[in-house]
Amino acid sequence: MQNKLKIAALACSYNRLEKTASFLKSVLSQSLPENYALEVYLLDDNSPDGTADYVRNHFPSVKLVEGSGSLFWAGGMRTLWSHVLKQDDYDFYLLLNDDVVLYDGAIERLLAAYNLSKFPDNIILGSVQHPGKPKVTYGGFKLTSKLMGLTSLETPDPDNLKACDIGNANIMLVDRSTVNKIGILSDAYTHAFADFDYTLTANKNGVKVWLGPGFYGSCENDHGLSWLPQTTPLKKRIEYLYSPKGIALKEYMLYIKRHFPYALPDKYVKAWLKTLFPFVYDTFKKTT
């Protein structure tokens, strides 16, 4: 790796061996420019389906880290990123979701997108689309209301960078100077919000957050609705309100307080409305 620019690819897995295997195949088959080198790290959070053993046997070049089984997404990525920072001084950190299948040449194109920026500190987001469809599933967002935190998902330009306010870490390339400036994912979040928080924090600190040209991979949108239907018992709905993989009320309120404080009362009331009277959302809303 001497004299080469070093990239650490980071992802977490939990109990979806088939998707994780497809993901790793797509990462390890990537071509890179001559002056770049890639090392792949995977944190498996004690998957009961044997993911860790499978990765050891079939992907020996992947640097496997084992989790406690209760890290969730943000906790897992933060644990892994902290571990990677101790291993080597990387030039780039490529955050990935293990349900993404990277297109051929995706990393090379991300690096080319990075080189389009004239600024010193940059995050490049890679848009992903639904398998076999042109629809964007994850990527970058623009704020349509900075006061209320309302967003619109951006469609990438085929040739140019697009400035973004918020981004998903399904595919997110972060340079070393950004990490030196703002650190890694906040320890305030267990599962969700950490990537949104990170990109908003980056923008506030002068880091440029860009959406790269075109698409870089495929991934289904698995978020669904942000409430449980009226037919669900109230006890279950309240559990979902506080669950890390549900509304995660306390962490959600912290996220809103940090970035959209004027929206705090509105978001709090709506979270409880979704919980106590979800029939309103069942009837009038089809998405989050």
- Is it the case that residue 16 has pLDDT exceeding 80? yes
Give 281's pLDDT tier (boundaries 50, 70, 90): confident
| Domain locations in the chain as residue ranges | 5-218, 234-284
- Is it the case that residue 93 has pLDDT exceeding 80? yes
- What is the mean predicted confidence (pLDDT) over 216-231? 88
pTM: 0.95
- One-letter amino acid for residue 83 of the chain: H
Give 192's pLDDT tier (boundaries 50, 70, 90): very high
Q: Report whether 44 contacts 51 (CB < 8 A).
A: yes
Q: Tell me the backbone φ, ψ of residue 66, rounded to 5 degrees.
A: -105, 135
Specify the pLDDT at position 197. Answer: 98
- Is it the case that residue 166 has pLDDT exceeding 50? yes
**Cα(100)–Cα(131) distance, rounded to whole angstroms?**
10
If one looks up domain 5-218 in CATH, what number appears? 3.90.550.60
**Cα(117)–Cα(124) distance, rounded to whole angstroms?**
10
Please count the CA atoms within 13 angstroms of the CA of 173 that sit on its side-chain side.
25
- What is the mean predicted confidence (pLDDT) over 39-61? 97
Determine the number of helices (DSSP H) and then strands (DSSP E) in the chain: 10, 13
DSSP β-ladder status, 63-66 and 36-44: parallel
Specify the pLDDT at position 288. Answer: 46
